[in-house]
Amino acid sequence: MTIESRSMAALDPADLDARDALAFHRERYIIPQGVIYLDGNSLGPASHAALTGLETAAKEEWAEGLIRSWNTAGWFDLSLATGNRIAPLIGAAAGQVVVCDTVTLNLYKVLHAALAMQAGRRVIVAEAGSFPTDLYIAEGVASTLPGVTIRLVGRDADTFEELIDEQTAVVLINHVDYRTGLLQDMARVTARAHKAGALVVWDLCHSAGALPIALDECKADFAVGCTYKYLNGGPGAQAFVYAAGRHHDKLKQPLSGWWGHARPFEFETSYAPSPGMRMFLTGTQGILSLRALAGALDNWKDVDLQALRHKSLQLTQYFMDLVAEQCAGFGLECITPRQDKLRGSQVSLRFEHAYPAMQALIARGVIGDFRAPDIMRFGFTPLYIGFADVSRAVAILKDILQTEAWKDPAFSTRASVT
């Protein structure tokens, strides 16, 4: 159902919540009393299932099983098993996803792997507005390989199409822009890159768990993503890597740690990579964190991703429509696309005094976040956010703007994490 052509501002939030087919999921998550949590695109909340998984791992598998649990509790294969559980959430067949390390480390691995497959091509195409870690890692990879250069959309040209040519080895692109919420057309960009002979790495940090993704269908080559945002795996939860099965026999990644060895417990002196996705493992993985993530993924067994997307679009449009109606005249600018097909599951508002305004909101129980220099960012996670939450959040935002509560000096002191 596309509703972007008419305003939702006049709709009754209680009626919308009463007709919400996903409302029953909310009880699975732990949301503090009085909090409207609109920051699941930065850190998802705890769930009862995640805490149960963590407690079981700590009190039973670790405390009682000790080192035996590497075998008896399935710890040794947990990275692969958890990857297979994430696979259907990102449109991938089994055997193409592994959970390990961080997005930063995994991106380093796949960029090197992609470049190694592209003999004679030495250009990485990325976005000037990409999440910084993507750019930092691209620069780091380029610094280790003679002749590799980086072209950036938004700096060297306005579009990917202008920058992708016969010299392009790999295109690195964010599926959803972390600042604006712009959703890229995965099928179109991938096809364009492939037509020029380039490979594509998709950063799914702001789309995995927020909307349906079709990596296999779009013939994507690689993807990386985090599990602590919409997948609610917990702070610092391990990231994931996707590599299309058609590439597995050609893969070679540079972080040749013992956990990715074909025979790690033979303790051989030379490295022999494990076949398949296990080759992306480096060192011993954090089992407690993996168990918390595995618990969090239990909540996805009965989630209809199409219904998730439908509600996400409703929530974000409802928020934008209410802000447009109730907060006009205060200097807010919505920089998130209005078109459904161009929007992820967040709304970003540009405001000259964005930082203190967000701190004022947080003090009133509406938790979003700030992105420099002037963006208030709100994430809408359909599994635990309702329409009454949205209505109340906008009413509080309006009051803060009207009363200029954000001018309280306490709200202008910058914290380390914004």
Which is catalytic among the residues 178, 228, 242, 319?
Answer: 228
Nearest to 38 by CA among 278, 394, 378: 378
Whether 230 sits among the annotated catalytic residues: the reply is no
Whether 389 sits among the annotated catalytic residues: the reply is no
Token readout for 141 is 């990879």
Whether 377 sits among the annotated catalytic residues: the reply is yes
Nearest to 105 by CA among 255, 247, 230: 255
Q: DSSP states of 1-33 as a string?
A: ---TTS--TTS-HHHHHHT-TTGGGGGGB---T
DSSP-derived secondary structure letter, 200: E
Which is catalytic among the residues 151, 179, 229, 364?
Answer: 229
Whether 195 sits among the annotated catalytic residues: the reply is no
Which is catalytic among the residues 160, 318, 377, 389?
Answer: 377
Distance in angstroms (rounded) separating the CA atoms of residues 138 and 153? 14
Helix (H/G/I), strand (E/B), else coil: 106: helix
Maximum separation of any 2 CA atoms in the chain, in Å: 69
Which is catalytic among the residues 17, 26, 85, 131?
Answer: 131
What is the 3 state secondary structure string of 126-169? EECCCCHHHHHHHHHHHHHCCCCEEEEECCCECCHHHHCCCCEE
Q: DSSP states of 267-314 as a string?
A: --SS--BPSGGGGG--S---HHHHHHHHHHHHTTTT--HHHHHHHHHH
Which is catalytic among the residues 39, 203, 321, 389?
Answer: 203
Nearest to 292 by CA among 138, 143, 78: 78
Torsion of CA 300, 303, 306, 308, to 10 degrees: -80
Torsion of CA 358, 359, 365, 370, to 10 degrees: 40
Distance in angstroms (rounded) separating the CA atoms of residues 65 and 57? 9
The phi, psi pair for 21, rounded to 5°, reads -75, -15
The phi, psi pair for 239, rounded to 5°, reads -85, 180
- Residues designated as active site: 131, 203, 228-229, 377
